[in-house]
Chain A
């Protein structure tokens, strides 16, 4: 069965600090990878996705993620966070031949202004 592990449940950063949120998955086959964000009181939104091709994926709002197949990782990065990035971030995986999307437990990011 697939599983997704997010390394930190809570992260607190000051504005302009760099961000990296870890995500590892366990699945031996070919996967699609996603990062979703949930701002306070809002619904889940897609930040970025990886299906194939260039392993460095750029998403909305200056976020990017790198797929490292050998490490089963898909870490999310942003060079300089803003107060408005305060949210919960979810990594998710599905097998390319499957329908189910499996989520990590989420990382709550708080950015101090």
Chain B
């Protein structure tokens, strides 16, 4: 089974801090994704990457950046955390015709 591992389950950060969320997958998938999940809004795509050092903006990229230096690792960066970025963050990886596998999520609270 594909495993997508997110380094932290819960995080509490202060407004203005730079925040790093890490995600690692173990199946050599080319595509990796970062979503945020909010009640009543479903999952919204922040950024995705289809290869090392390649990235594309999703639907809500403002206030975020990403880094993919190695195929298995995809990091989400909040440059200056704000309270409206309090959310559940989900990482996923995919392979064509296989579907998407999600990590267990990081619940970030910005105070």
Whether chain B is bound by chain A comes out as yes
Chain B contact residues: over half helix, strand or loop, or mixed?
strand
Pick from B90, B94, B97: contact of A99, CB under 8 Å: B94
Interface residues of B toward A: which range? Answer: 20 to 34
- CA A43 to CA B92, docked complex, whole Å: 11
In the complex, the answer to whether B31 meets A99 with C-beta atoms within 8 Å is yes
Interface residues of A toward B: which range? Answer: 20 to 34
Q: Point out which of B33, B40, B41, B42 has the most chain A C-beta atoms below 10 A from its C-beta.
A: B42
Pick from B43, B50, B94, B97: contact of A103, CB under 8 Å: B43
Knowing A103-B42, A105-B42 are in contact, say whether A43-B50 is a contact too (CB < 8 A): no
In the complex, the answer to whether B48 meets A105 with C-beta atoms within 8 Å is no
- CA A42 to CA B105, docked complex, whole Å: 9
* B contact set with A: CB distance below 8 Å: 31, 33, 35, 40-45, 48, 50, 58, 90, 92, 94, 97, 99-105
17 further contact pairs, Cβ within 8 A, besides A99-B48, A105-B42: A6-B42, A34-B99, A42-B104, A43-B103, A43-B104, A43-B105, A46-B99, A46-B101, A49-B99, A51-B97, A92-B100, A100-B45, A100-B48, A100-B58, A101-B92, A105-B41, A106-B42
